[in-house]
Structure 1
Amino acid sequence: MKQVGSLFGIPFFLHWSVIIFPAFALWHSFAIHGSYDFCWECFNFSLLLFAALLLLVLIHELGHAMAGRYLGIPTDRIVVNGLGGAAYLQNLGEKPRETMLIAIAGPMTNIVIGLLLYFYLEWANGFLFFANFHGGLFSLLFWERLLYLLYYYNLVLILFNLLPGLPLDGGWVLEASLRYFLPKAWATIVAARFGQLLGGGLFVLGAWLVDWMFPLFAVFIFWYATRQLVRAKLHRRLNKHSIAGLMHRDFSLVADADPVQEVVEQAGLAPQRYFMIPNQEGQLGTMLSGAQLTQVYRENGAEHNFMEAIANMQSYAIQEDTPLSVAWDYIDLKEVPAFAVLRGEEVAGVLEAETVRQLAPKKPGPSLFH
């Protein structure tokens, strides 16, 4: 997987599986005439079409990411692969309507693109393009054929993505709708089961039609739905426990006036204890274990360098009444080692990742939109 740039500050990656596109274009350019004569025009057309389809998928995923940004949810990256794409949002929204908005934003971008393509083809042909078109692709001009196929595949992408099963956008809309009546974990389980049924149905359809693309998508959908099912069941199990019941209170609050040397000495005597270091506003800025704090001091030496290094380190805080599954997602996806547990604005304890991992031996796949 290689990063090829960024869009609106979001890193954009191409997965190695996109090589399927030029490979198919090469095969199609030999097979189009039923002989070994290579069709350069067909090859160039196929490559251009596939590049346009990749752009469609990218815009679709960007729609999810922009909806997340509107709701204050960052997107770590966007990945386009040989079967579609994924926007890796840090979470999918706390409320059902947020999840629904993020999910529907992708197809909405495709609807806008579809309308633009439709009206452009009509306008460029005296508003008679679709009235006069009877399926003869090779009767069209090069650019008309390209735009028509782009319009057609964009329509397929919209309809396919709205099918009600995870990991498709329609599956996330279903999951969000069910959350008005069911706990979140159960809503995900139901939507994932629909995804498994959808995957099985596509596999059977592909076998019946003798079309290799259907089984390929079917296996992917079934696999991902199963991963979401495992994750939802794990969330349900984790939420039987509370953060307050798993946290410990072996921590020290460091005051602004405390000498650095004295804090470092205390850290050396208590390597397992966590030290809460305030920022310039007096709020919790950094949380480090004694061992980590001692190591940072050793590596930076001078007091100014040490304080600067501490200020640039990222720490995570979580309210003690937050469901444990939320903490697990950060541990699993971001490898967060520990959380400062807050009760309101006060530090109440420390939740270590290892404590949560003991309750979650398996590692299901990440949450993402396709």
Structure 2
Amino acid sequence: MTWAYRIARVSGIDIKIHITFLLVLLLGGMEWGRHHGTAGFVFGVLLMLALFTCVTLHELGHSLAAQYFKIPVREIVLLPIGGVALLGKLPEKPRQELIIAAAGPAVNVVIAAALALVGAPVLATLDGRGLLEGAAPAPSPATFLFWLLAANVTLVAFNLIPAFPLDGGRMLRAVLAMFTDYARATTIAATIGQAAAVLLGILGVISGNFILAIIAVMIFFGAGMESFQAKAKTVLTTLRVGDAYNKHALSLVPADRISRVVDYILTSYQPDFAVVLGGNLLGFVTRDDVLKALAQRPDDPYVAEVMERQVVRVEATDSLEEVQERMSQERVRLVAVYSGERFLGLVSAEDLREALSVLFFVRRQERLALQGA
């Protein structure tokens, strides 16, 4: 993710912070500083740092549970709206998804319990009546512990709402998937999630809490996206990558000049070109490679000088869903398709999206034909 910088590494997982996260620290400091001056500003910043430490531990809960099931975790990114653990692939079994989804809130339960038990003597000094009346308490250890405890309890309650992309939505899908297929379980969970989002949105508008209304909108569209991705996964498993690559694609040889690639791009609108010699794949050249070469090399270099040599290899019998997962794991947008030791062609992420749109169109037409019969 762009504008995200690594701040730590735990169990092989990069923990990154997005540059916009600094806004959260600033807003937290300003809110407390508005009532309590410089001391309040420092207090607010420290409170936000502590809160997002809890969010990081929440995401580590998901990540370590995923690693237990041999699911790779690419990174954890801290954003102003929370944390995101980017998994290399989805859990294969409902039980795995249930445990991974539950691990995050479980961490916050442990943190909240520890704060309540260990910090009980300090919390007892807090003016509870003033808090109930909406008074802004002065910065103190008791105030710090109270807000951190409240934040963890809120994280648990909010994340257990049965709506995608929250943990509760994933837990609901996992339970449903134990009794039905993955796609249907996702559809049911997404529908419930969107209904919950509508209720949250209405509550937010009625109460004047527009942050809650915005969150409801995000949940609504997040649930819809999750449903689409589940349908896409089901569709992509039905087609082999050997049926999706461009069988009429133009290719290059190492001795070709970049000017020839420019001609090919202009006449064929093909963005990626395999570089082959004697039927063997040596590398590939993309449109971006060509543009970079034109900007940096006015001498019209050979293709061999600018081509990318590291290519991820897949078998023609692999499903498009497997290939998409492989692309995500390897962080590439292009793979080479082989049948045994014979190179067949290249497939890009754009090719997968096009294949998916075609398959969706065909299935829609088939349903319309059945309805009209």
TM-score (norm 1): 0.70
Q: Equivalences for 1:213-292 in 2 at 5 Å?
A: 213-243=211-241, 245-246=243-244, 289-290=281-282, 292=284
> Residues of 1 paired with 2:58 and 2:277: CA distance?
43
1:11 match = 14
More off after superposition, 172-181 vs 8-17: 8-17
> Residues of 1 paired with 2:227 and 2:278: CA distance?
38
Change (3 A) 1:222 1:120: same
2:80 match = 82
Counterpart selection for 1:24 from 13, 27, 30: 27
> Residues of 2 paired with 1:182 and 1:347: CA distance?
40
Q: Equivalences for 1:326-341 in 2 at 5 Å?
A: 326-331=322-327, 334-340=331-337
1:111 aligns with 2:109: yes
- Quote the offset at 1:26 in angstroms: 5.0
Q: Equivalences for 1:1-370 in 2 at 5 Å?
A: 1-8=3-10, 9-25=12-28, 27-29=30-32, 32=35, 39-122=37-120, 124=121, 129=124, 134-137=128-131, 142-243=140-241, 245-246=243-244, 289-290=281-282, 292=284, 298-299=304-305, 313=310, 315-317=312-314, 320=317, 323-331=319-327, 334-340=331-337, 352-354=346-348, 355-361=351-357
Change (3 A) 1:219 1:146: same
Change (3 A) 1:244 1:139: closer
Change (3 A) 1:67 1:351: farther
Per-residue CA deviations over 1:35-62 (Å, capped at 9, x if unaligned) read xxx6223222211111111111111111
Per-residue CA deviations over 1:89-112 (Å, capped at 9, x if unaligned) read 101211111212211111111111
Contact 1:22 1:47 in 2 (8 A): yes
Contact 2:34 2:40 in 1 (8 A): no
Per-residue CA deviations over 1:276-323 (Å, capped at 9, x if unaligned) read 9xxxxxxxxxxx734549x999459xxxxxxxx97xx46244693x54
> Residues of 2 paired with 1:323 and 1:81: CA distance?
34
> Residues of 2 paired with 1:275 and 1:66: CA distance?
46
> Residues of 2 paired with 1:235 and 1:62: CA distance?
26
Provide structure 2 residue ranges, at least 5 long, that are not aligned to the other structure: 257-272, 286-300, 359-373
SS in 2 for 1:136: helix
2:269 match = none
- Quote the offset at 1:154 in angstroms: 0.2
For 1:153, the aligned partner's letter is A
* Alignment RMSD (CA, Å): 3.8
Contact 1:75 1:87 in 2 (8 A): yes
Per-residue CA deviations over 1:254-282 (Å, capped at 9, x if unaligned) read xxxxxxxxxxxx98899676999xxxxxx
More off after superposition, 209-218 vs 231-240: 231-240
- Quote the offset at 1:172 in angstroms: 0.9
SS in 2 for 1:80: strand
Contact 1:76 1:88 in 2 (8 A): yes
- Quote the offset at 1:185 in angstroms: 2.6
SS in 1 for 2:356: coil
The share of aligned pairs that are identical, in percent, is: 26
SS in 2 for 1:153: helix
> Residues of 2 paired with 1:90 and 1:226: CA distance?
21
> Residues of 1 paired with 2:284 and 2:222: CA distance?
37
Provide structure 1 residue ranges, at least 5 long, that are not aligned to the other structure: 33-37, 251-265, 277-287, 301-308, 363-370
Contact 1:167 1:192 in 2 (8 A): no
SS in 2 for 1:13: strand
> Residues of 2 paired with 1:348 and 1:247: CA distance?
14
2:297 match = none
1:306 match = none
> Residues of 1 paired with 2:284 and 2:79: CA distance?
39
For 2:206, the aligned partner's letter is W
Highest relative contact order (Cα 8 Å, sep 6+), 1 or 2?
A: 1
- Quote the offset at 1:4 in angstroms: 3.4
TM-score (norm 2): 0.70
1:256 match = none
- Quote the offset at 1:23 in angstroms: 4.1
Aligned residues: 313
Change (3 A) 1:357 1:275: farther
SS in 2 for 1:87: strand
